[in-house]
Amino acid sequence: MKIFFRLLSALFILTPLVAPSVSTQPALASGESRTARHFDSIKTRPLLLAAFLREMPKGGDLHNHLSGAIYAESFIKWGAEADACLDTATMSAIPCRAGTISMKDVVANPVIYRAVIDAWSMRNYELSGQSGHDHFFDTFGKFGYAGNDRAGDMLAEAVGLAARDNVLYLELMMTPDEGRVAGLGRKIGWNSDFATMRNRLLAEGLRDSLKVAVSGLNRWEGRMRELLNCSGAGGGEGCDIPVRYLYQVGRGLAPEMVFAQILAGFEMAELDPRFVGFNLVMPEDYPVPIRDFTLHMEIINFLRPLYKKAHISLHAGELAPGLVPPDELCCHIRQSVELGHAERIGHGVDVAYEDDPFGLLKLMADRNVMVEICLTSNEVILGVTGQHHSLHLYQAHGVPTALATDDEGVSRIDLTHEFVKAVRDHGLSYLDLKAMARTSLEHSFLPGKSIWSDAKSFTLVPECSGNTLGSAKQTPSCKAYLEANEKARLQWELEKRFGEFEGGS
């Protein structure tokens, strides 16, 4: 029985579907139309909408910080297993010392346990006495120690969450060298001659540090596969989800450390195909990222011609009026696109406040720069939601967009939640959501070509023209094309799942 109709039966839907008229359209189109009509009938009914969107195939989650993807309960469990303690003054996990509480005692005390979850996530943050912005970013320093040596466990949790959420692909942000590269930058110090900086870092063994990081990633992925039971009969849930990584650069560090990490992001993509690019992280409104924003873009601009493999996605425009002085809203998105060679922008909330915003929107549309839309994150951190959000501007001006979670564990959400929020707060239709799911894979950094010759109209490439989307049987030319292109294969799988979801295959 088709997933779509199984869902209807399970929910005891009372609203009848409109019977499809006789049509010469393909069955898939008929299924899509029927599904869209059903969506319209339940979009104001929160529980039915959530259940519907949980089952909907969602493409990829392209903006997902690994440590932020983990729920506080996991960090508490790991802290207890590692014999860590809680500093009740700061609500931080730390090595045990006088005056601290064992994390095992935290687990045994429901009152403290609940308080730690609140401190390590956005649950009940309104009661914390902090702004959402400050509470959010403070969580990472509080739970960080409890996550030491748990990267493999984190991967398993992130992938497991994605599988249960019908997400087909993950790009996870992480810094795999555990501070070694930043340490090299600190060791050599700053030099405004970028060529000299690069040469000195390479001479100091940056590539050796990255080889150690690759060995670490191998161990972490092995642990992930073990926890997901990927070697068992049939494989565990999530074992079939492709995962790629973006090297995470701490933009709040000293210039020499940021240079070292940006260089590592480029180098890592050359060294290991699992790393498909890099991103700059840490609060954009902090003093160092504000002061050095242009410098960081200039570093990227210098290194870009020297490397062929690394893709670039940049946090930019995670700002709002009042968070920073008006002049600081001028140009982070534009600089990221023009100088930083960004193929994707993370957040992009303040685009309307940048200089020449409509010229910038046209530039982004012309260059096919996608925006990773993180609705819940923008609401809790920036206080921006609904019609104050930039999503409708991007859509109106032809800028590609896709929904993403940002830090689903800290925010205590998942991608289904973001799809629901897009419907509730922005009035998106089923076809809008389907297009965003497709767009996420189109703008993923997976290797290979797309199945779309035109990703706006979703027109198939000539090699697959005439084939039924997602069909298990393809013409020889289409089969060869899919075999040669990993991105196209995953896009075809998404179409297969849409067909099943819509009852069209």
List residues bridging with 406 in a β-sheet: 64
The two structure tokens encoding residue 134: 């400050």
Contact between residue 347 and residue 332 where contact means Cβ atoms under 8 Å apart:
no
- Cα 383 to Cα 376: distance, rounded to the nearest angstrom: 9
- What average pLDDT does the segment 9-17 reach? 37
Residues 6 or more apart in contact with residue 64 via CB below 8 angstroms = 158, 170, 171, 172, 173, 404, 405, 406, 407, 408
pLDDT of residue 270: 98
| pLDDT(491) > 70 | yes
The two structure tokens encoding residue 32: 């899509």
- What average pLDDT does the segment 222-243 reach? 91
- What average pLDDT does the segment 353-358 reach? 99
- Cα 16 to Cα 2: distance, rounded to the nearest angstrom: 17
pLDDT of residue 83: 98
- Cα 174 to Cα 279: distance, rounded to the nearest angstrom: 9
pLDDT of residue 15: 37
The two structure tokens encoding residue 246: 């973006």
- Specify the amino acid at residue 489: R
pLDDT of residue 235: 77
pLDDT of residue 10: 41
- Cα 446 to Cα 441: distance, rounded to the nearest angstrom: 8
| pLDDT(25) > 50 | no
- Specify the amino acid at residue 273: P
Sign of the CA dihedral running 142, 145, 150, 151: positive
- What average pLDDT does the segment 122-138 reach? 97
Residues 6 or more apart in contact with residue 481 via CB below 8 angstroms = 449, 451, 461, 463, 464, 488
| Torsion, CA 409, CA 91, CA 78, CA 252, rounded to 10 | 60
| pLDDT(7) > 50 | no
Residue bearing tokens 């860590």: 84
- pLDDT tens-digit readout, 134-160: 999 999 999 999 999 999 999 999 999
Percent of the chain with pLDDT over 90: 92
Q: In what order do the strands lie in the sheet with 85-87?
A: 92-94, 85-87, 101-102
What is 263-317 written as a DSSP string?
A: HHHHHHHHH-TTEEEEEEES-TTSHHHHHHHHHHHHHHHHHGGG-SS-EEEEEE-
The two structure tokens encoding residue 502: 């819509």
The two structure tokens encoding residue 193: 């001659």
Q: Which of 26-30, 312-316, 345-349 has the lowest mean pLDDT?
A: 26-30
pLDDT of residue 9: 42
Domains identified in the chain and CATH numbers = 3-55+445-501 (no CATH), 70-143 (no CATH), 151-442 (3.20.20.140)
Q: Average pLDDT over the chain, rounded to whole?
A: 94
Name the pLDDT band for 435 (thresholds 50, 70, 90).
very high
- Specify the amino acid at residue 445: F
| pLDDT(380) > 90 | yes
Q: Which of 16-30, 94-108, 377-391 has the lowest mean pLDDT?
A: 16-30
| pLDDT(386) > 70 | yes
- Cα 178 to Cα 10: distance, rounded to the nearest angstrom: 47
- Cα 56 to Cα 34: distance, rounded to the nearest angstrom: 14
- pLDDT tens-digit readout, 34-66: 999 999 999 999 999 999 999 999 999 999 999
| Torsion, CA 434, CA 438, CA 439, CA 442, rounded to 10 | 180
| pLDDT(67) > 50 | yes
pLDDT of residue 3: 46
Contact between residue 170 and residue 241 where contact means Cβ atoms under 8 Å apart:
yes
pLDDT of residue 14: 34
- What average pLDDT does the segment 435-460 reach? 98
pLDDT of residue 360: 99
**Among the listed residues 53, 65, 15, 4, the one whose alpha carbon sits nearest the alpha carbon of residue 429:** 53
